[in-house]
Amino acid sequence: MNAATPPPPISTGVVFEARKVRKVYQTGEVDVVALHGVDLSLNAGELVCLLGASGSGKSTLLNILGGLDVPTSGELIYKGWNLDGAEENTLTLFRRNCVGFVFQFYNLIPSLTARENVALITSISRNPMTPEEALELVGLGARMDHFPSQLSGGEQQRVAIARAIAKRPEVLLCDEPTGALDVTTGITVLEAVERINRELGTLTVIITHNAVMSEMADRVLHLSDGKIVDSTRNEVRLPASGLKW
Amino acid sequence: MISPLDRKLLRDLAKMKGQVVAVSLVMACGLAMMIMTRSLILTLESTRSTYYQQNAMADIFANLKRAPLSVAERISDLPGVAMVEPRVAVDVTLDLPGLTEPATGHIVSLPEDGGPQKLNRVFLRSGRFPRSDDRREVVLGETFANENGLSPGDSLVAIINGHRETLSICGIGLSPEFVFEARAGETLPDHKRFSVIWMNYRALAVAYNLDGAFNDVCVDLSPGAKAEPVIEEMDRLLTPYGAGGAYMRKEQASAQRLDDELRVLHSLSVLYPLVFLSVAAFMVNAVLARIVRLQREQIAQMKALGYSSWQVGFHYLKFVLVIGILGTIIGGFGGRVLGEKFVDMYKTFFRFPNLLFQMDYSALAIALLISMGASAVGVLSVVWQAVKLPPAEAMRPEPPADFKPSFFEKIGLTRFFSPTFRMALRNIERRPWQAVFTGGGLMLATGLMVLPGAMSDSIDYLLTYQWNSVQRQDVSVFLTEPTSSQGFHSLEHLPGVTHAEQVRSVPARLKYAQYERKLSVTGISRDCTLNRLLDESGKPILMPDEGLVMSKKLAEVIGADIGDEVEIEVLEGRRPTLLVPIRGLVTDYAGVAAYMDLTALHRLMKEGDTVNGAYLSVDQKHWDEFMRELKDTPRAGFVMVKRDQLAAFRKTTGEMIGMISGLYLMLAIIVAFGVVYNSARIALSERSRELATLRVVGFRLSEVRGILISELSMIVLSAIPVGLVFGRGLALFIMSSFSTETVRMPIVIKSSTYSLAVIVVLAAAVISFTLVSRMLGKLDMVGVLKARD
């Protein structure tokens, strides 16, 4: 991996502070409580793994952290900026400037090449790296002018990561980033995530079903029934390349 | 009991009701046009055929000067002739108390023996036929009677051969010979000022010194007999009696107008529906292709559960069936409503005993088959591709769509394009046919919008041209008989006449190469300023001393040009024949005409300063007085008042054009809206993942909306100019299909017409975009992104 010189960590200290965050979905006549008052604090440069069964509330939490949704009640503060009850425009700005997302299904624009997919974001960001730098960071320097249909699943996911981090976000949120990949490809993708976290100092939150992945995290949060039931800190972070499942 | 699959079908359809309605409406437009035109053809043809048959419409007609009745018997002896009806037919001036200007009556005699007519039998609407010995009783044409509030028992004054006669109306009637009832040579009916009148032979014949003779004859052919040899024999028999040549039913003025109308309907009944149905078929295809792609997994599951490919395929074909049936119902209903409106309008032009709209149900069945067929053919391949996939494969996500750099990028223009612009370009290039059909639909809508405007622009131009540039006289008077200049002076000295010009016209046969046309050669003076002859550029043509100036259309029809020599055989007086060169071509829009210098015509006719008409400018202050005296002028056979012609034109043609314009406007809006809405809806659905991604990574709703509509906007903006050109072509095609030797339309399209077309199509596009943008606002970003494509 031909790594570019990493910029200094963006900030230190607490990035997210969640207090008693509740989320209730109204589906028909039934209220579904997805989050039952979550208290959480996430720090700059951390790599956090959210583990939990389906329906445990981890995706809801990630969506709220990423400004894709707002809590029903409770407080969510991003670096002193109150996000609960924020307007749609504020959330759009927050997503545009502060958060990078990676989803299980890469969600690349099929009509744009790898470089252009990244350029799509750099064209609207305040202080982005170049698309080339971002793609180099995920090891795709040689595949920049390929369309998604010409890339493997792992490569597509790495383009998605490059797209997410090209804006130099404070936060990188990954929702099952290896869910659609085989082990080897999955590890390559995780290596890219790890590198971003390490070299750019981006707070990285990974949602997964896969408990093995928690070994590469600084902290592991277990969610169940919309609550954080356990929080463990790893003394030693395993490199992504050392993971096996 | 509805099967689970049908339940799914209904729910899927309910979810996409906007699109179902949009596609059905576009389809309905085509079907409505088809059903309307086919039904109008059926209505007109069957009504005509019944009327012609029941009232014995003649096969051959001839007009002559005067022939003894014995000649009619000789005609009846000709092989192929079944029946002959000799008649007296004359034009007279009518004086109606409620009308300042004189009206014209075309009096046709009833049989001499007082028996029923053998041919062209009058259909009596009310009252009775004249008593056999009565000299004053007449049957009056229905429309004239209605327009002027006359009924049996009333009377009217006619100037019959110079004498004022009070005629008593005993019946109101109509005849198959005058379904289209207008003065000879007039292109539009003026029911207030023109009527056909039937009266006893003797009363009329005596007045015109035609007792024991006839000046008009109709012939019925034996079954299977050919018209041409009979016409040839009739001409041989009648030429010595001043006949201008017998002609077939299809050349008879009224029958010709009906034929013209049917011809127009026939051409519209194919072209329009075809275009609309192609657009609708594409829309169905696009919608269904999207459903099938979206339901890839569902298809796999159905097959995994044991449904056969046929069952699954048929399930998706049912979408088409539902849209087709819906389109046919709306189209059938619309076609009926429109057809009934058109039939009402036809009643202004065509008079039948009973013109009732008849729905062509076979057209409805054909419409259903065509619409289903066209749509089904379009979707078969999509459905087939879906059902042939093995279930396991179908359950896996589809690989990303295959893209490549667009043509513009390949030629090095990449650096000028933003990523979003590139997305739009590549999407268009990846599915060019989709873009072509969307563009095609919009082009059609734009073109349809140009058409009604073009029609009214052309009519405005025609009116200005005809009534301001060409026909500058207020009144044209034609005399019953040619007369010396003395007759002209009596017109010239009518009160209020400020300027008068002489007219001499003679019936003639014009021959060039294999072509032969019967027409009037009109002699006008070189310095005429009233009825002007204008060339293509609108400049007055100076009448040459020798030679002929003729309608450009006539020259086209006979294939002659300026400088060519044509033969003129005058069908009056000594019947001289002359070879004359064509010296000028007149741009005119009604009938075909030929003009000569007045003196040259007199020389040709070896006559003195004979005239048979005059063009008059009248001081409006003396209008009533002028009209009163004109009514009493014995020789004034028929009078054309410019402002009445204009009013009649506006009432009849104006109304028709208004209705057609409204119809095209409606069709254009439906197509523009339907096509853009459907395309935008499909784009939203196909690209929801892309759009949600953009929202998630921080694009504003307005920016994402911009991306969604940029591709369609490109199509809309490139389709509009093509649509304007297409609209011009369409207007040319439609208006030239209206154009015959009797009526032509100048093709004039103002820039305001083009602008309006652009505005309406853009407005329809903007409304569609707004509706779809609202849906974009409600897009569940997370749901879309986490779902598998």
Q: Which two tokens stand for residue A86?
A: 């924020």
- Mutate which of A89, A111, A207 to test chain B, going by most B C-beta atoms within 10 A? A111
Q: Where are the beta strands (DSSP E) in B135-277?
A: 137-141, 155-160, 163-174, 194-200, 213-221, 247-248
ipTM for the assembly: 0.78
User: Distances from the Cα of B679 to the Cαs of A42, B510, B611, in angstroms?
Assistant: 45, 58, 68
**A193: closest CA among A167, A224, A160?**
A160
For residue range B127-162, what is the model confidence (pLDDT) as tens digits? 999 998 888 999 999 999 999 999 999 999 998 887
Q: For residue B395, what pLDDT band results from cuts at 50, 70 and 90?
A: low
- What mean pLDDT value characterizes chain B? 86
Q: Which of A111, A123, A163 sits opposite B403 (nearest CB)?
A: A111
Q: Is residue A178 in some structural domain?
A: yes
Give CA–CA dist A71/A57, Å, rounded. Answer: 12
**A3: closest CA among A164, A140, A137, A135?**
A137
Q: How many CB contacts within 8 angstroms connect chain A with chain B?
A: 98
pLDDT at position B338 is 92
- Mutate which of B422, B427, B697 to test chain A, going by most A C-beta atoms within 10 A? B697
Taking an 8 Å cut-off on Cβ atoms, the answer to whether B401 and A110 are in contact is yes
User: Distances from the Cα of A193 to the Cαs of A4, A52, B156, in angstroms?
Assistant: 15, 20, 104
Instruction: Tell me which chain B residues have a C-beta less than 8 angstroms from the C-beta of A59.
Output: 782, 786
Q: Is residue A8 in some structural domain?
A: no
Taking an 8 Å cut-off on Cβ atoms, the answer to whether B426 and A111 are in contact is yes
Q: For residue A6, what pLDDT band results from cuts at 50, 70 and 90?
A: very low
CATH, residue A216: 3.40.50.300
| Sign of the torsion formed by the C-alpha atoms of B651, B653, B654 and B660 | positive
Give CA–CA dist B353/A86, Å, rounded. Answer: 76
B608 inside 8 A of chain A by CB? no
**B429: closest CA among A111, A120, A150, A146?**
A111
**B75: closest CA among B290, B219, B251?**
B219
User: Distances from the Cα of B784 to the Cαs of A27, A181, B181, B686, in angstroms?
Assistant: 17, 20, 69, 11
* Cβ neighbourhood burial of B73 (10 Å; 0-12, 13-18, 19+): exposed
Beta pairing class for B194-200 and B60-68:
unpaired
Q: Which two tokens stand for residue B197?
A: 């009148």
pLDDT exceeds 50 at position A5 = no
pLDDT exceeds 90 at position B566 = yes
* Cβ neighbourhood burial of B566 (10 Å; 0-12, 13-18, 19+): buried
pLDDT exceeds 70 at position A158 = yes
Instruction: Tell me which chain A residues have a C-beta less than 8 angstroms from the C-beta of B699.
Output: 92, 96, 124
Give CA–CA dist B407/B425, Å, rounded. Answer: 9
Q: Which of B404, B423, B785 sits opposite A109 (nearest CB)?
A: B423
Taking an 8 Å cut-off on Cβ atoms, the answer to whether A107 and B419 are in contact is no
Which chain B residue has its CA at the smallest distance from A92's CA?
A: B698
Q: Which of A104, A124, A149 sits opposite B400 (nearest CB)?
A: A149
Mean pLDDT score, B723-736: 87
> Higher-confidence residue: A1 or B788?
B788
For residue range B305-348, what is the model confidence (pLDDT) as tens digits? 778 888 888 888 888 888 888 988 999 999 999 999 999 988 88
CA of A60, closest CA in chain B: separation in Å? 10
**Which contiguous run of DSSP H or E holds residue B507?**
strand B497-512
| Cα dihedral B382/B386/B387/B393 (nearest 10) | 160
For residue range A97-144, what is the model confidence (pLDDT) as tens digits? 899 989 888 888 888 889 988 988 888 888 899 999 999 988 888 999
CA of A18, closest CA in chain B: separation in Å? 21
Percent of chain B residues topping a pLDDT of 70: 97
Do residues B60 and B234 make contact, with C-beta atoms less than 8 angstroms apart? yes
Taking an 8 Å cut-off on Cβ atoms, the answer to whether A149 and B689 are in contact is no
Q: Which two tokens stand for residue B91?
A: 């034009």
Count of residues making up chain B: 789
B690 inside 8 A of chain A by CB? yes
**Phi, psi of A219, rounded to the nearest 5 degrees:** -135, 145
Taking an 8 Å cut-off on Cβ atoms, the answer to whether B403 and A121 are in contact is no
Q: Is residue A159 in some structural domain?
A: yes
pLDDT exceeds 70 at position A11 = no
Give CA–CA dist B375/B322, Å, rounded. Answer: 11
User: Distances from the Cα of B340 to the Cαs of B357, B655, B656, in angstroms?
Assistant: 6, 15, 13
Q: Where are the beta strands (DSSP E) in B587-662?
A: 594-597, 611-618, 636-641
Q: For residue A3, what pLDDT band results from cuts at 50, 70 and 90?
A: very low
CB proximity under 8 Å: B 430-449 to A: 430
Taking an 8 Å cut-off on Cβ atoms, the answer to whether A110 and B400 are in contact is yes
Percent of chain B residues topping a pLDDT of 90: 32
Taking an 8 Å cut-off on Cβ atoms, the answer to whether B786 and A97 are in contact is no
Instruction: Reduce the secondary structure of chain A to three states and give it as a string.
Output: CCCCCCCCCCCCCEEEEEEEEEEEEEECCEEEEEEEEEEEEEECCCEEEEEECCCCCHHHHHHHHCCCCCCCEEEEEECCEECCCCCHHHHHHHHHHHEEEECCCCCCCCCCCHHHHHHHHHCCCCCCCCHHHHHHHCCCHHHCCCCHHHCCHHHHHHHHHHHHHCCCCCEEEEECCCCCCCHHHHHHHHHHHHHHHHHHCCEEEEEECCHHHHHHCCEEEEEECCEEEEEEECCCCCCHHHCCC
Q: Which of B697, B701, B788 sits opposite A101 (nearest CB)?
A: B697
Q: Which two tokens stand for residue B561?
A: 């040009």
Q: Which of B422, B430, B789 sits opposite A116 (nearest CB)?
A: B422
Taking an 8 Å cut-off on Cβ atoms, the answer to whether B696 and A63 are in contact is no
B426 inside 8 A of chain A by CB? yes
Beta pairing class for A99-102 and A171-175:
parallel
Taking an 8 Å cut-off on Cβ atoms, the answer to whether B698 and A95 are in contact is yes
For the ranges A221-230, B98-107, B415-424, the lowest mean pLDDT is seen at: B415-424
CA of A6, closest CA in chain B: separation in Å? 23
Q: Is residue A5 in some structural domain?
A: no
Taking an 8 Å cut-off on Cβ atoms, the answer to whether A116 and B781 are in contact is no
pLDDT exceeds 80 at position B163 = yes
Taking an 8 Å cut-off on Cβ atoms, the answer to whether B785 and A103 are in contact is yes
Per the listing, tokens 């004498």 go with B163
Q: Which two tokens stand for residue A69?
A: 């949704």
**Phi, psi of B175, rounded to the nearest 5 degrees:** -140, 150
Taking an 8 Å cut-off on Cβ atoms, the answer to whether A95 and B696 are in contact is yes
pLDDT exceeds 80 at position B707 = yes
Give CA–CA dist B138/B195, Å, rounded. Answer: 12
Per the listing, tokens 């350029």 go with A119
Give the three-class secondary structure for B354.
Answer: coil
Do residues A177 and A189 make contact, with C-beta atoms less than 8 angstroms apart? yes
The full set of domains in chain B, from first to last, is 56-256 (no CATH), 431-471+643-789 (no CATH), 497-618 (2.40.40)
**B508: closest CA among B551, B576, B571?**
B571
Do residues B407 and B238 make contact, with C-beta atoms less than 8 angstroms apart? no
Q: For residue B786, what pLDDT band results from cuts at 50, 70 and 90?
A: low
For the ranges B134-143, B378-387, B577-586, B698-707, the lowest mean pLDDT is seen at: B378-387
Q: Is residue A7 in some structural domain?
A: no
Taking an 8 Å cut-off on Cβ atoms, the answer to whether B694 and A120 are in contact is yes
Give CA–CA dist B94/B84, Å, rounded. Answer: 29
Can you give the residue range of the structural domain that contains A209?
A: 14-242
Give CA–CA dist B570/B548, Å, rounded. Answer: 14
Instruction: Tell me which chain B residues have a C-beta less than 8 angstroms from the C-beta of A100.
Output: 697
Beta pairing class for B577-586 and B548-551:
parallel
* Cβ neighbourhood burial of A93 (10 Å; 0-12, 13-18, 19+): middle
For the ranges B142-151, B222-231, B410-419, B592-601, the lowest mean pLDDT is seen at: B410-419
CB proximity under 8 Å: B 623-652 to A: none
For residue range B471-487, what is the model confidence (pLDDT) as tens digits? 888 998 888 778 888 88
Residues whose CB is less than 8 angstroms from the CB of residue B363 and which lie 6 or more positions away in sequence, other chains included: B34, B35, B38, B39, B42, B335
Give CA B41 to chain center in angstroms. 13
B420 inside 8 A of chain A by CB? yes
Q: Is residue A170 in some structural domain?
A: yes
Taking an 8 Å cut-off on Cβ atoms, the answer to whether A111 and B430 are in contact is yes
B293 inside 8 A of chain A by CB? no
**B477: closest CA among B612, B624, B632?**
B612
Q: Which of A68, A93, A180 sits opposite B696 (nearest CB)?
A: A68
Q: Is residue A3 in some structural domain?
A: no
Could you tell me the end-to-end alpha-carbon distance of chain B, in angstroms, rounded to an integer?
Answer: 34
- Mutate which of A94, A98, A109 to test chain B, going by most B C-beta atoms within 10 A? A109
Chain A residues whose C-beta is within 8 A of a chain B C-beta are: 59, 63, 66, 68-69, 88-89, 92-93, 95-97, 99-101, 103-105, 107-112, 116-117, 119-121, 123-125, 147-149, 156, 163-164, 167, 175, 180
Residues whose CB is less than 8 angstroms from the CB of residue B43 and which lie 6 or more positions away in sequence, other chains included: B339, B343, B355, B356, B357, B358
Taking an 8 Å cut-off on Cβ atoms, the answer to whether B693 and A92 are in contact is no
Per the listing, tokens 């991306």 go with B707
Count of structural domains, chain A: 1
Taking an 8 Å cut-off on Cβ atoms, the answer to whether B419 and A101 are in contact is no
Give the three-class secondary structure for B605.
Answer: helix
Task: Report which residue type is found at B484.
Answer: S
Q: Which two tokens stand for residue A188?
A: 């390559």
Task: Report which residue type is found at B51.
Answer: Y
Q: Is residue A1 in some structural domain?
A: no
Mean pLDDT score, B11-17: 88
Residue A13, Ramachandran bin (φ over 0: left; ψ between -120 and 50: alpha; else beta): left
CA of B428, closest CA in chain A: separation in Å? 10
Q: Which two tokens stand for residue B97?
A: 């108390």
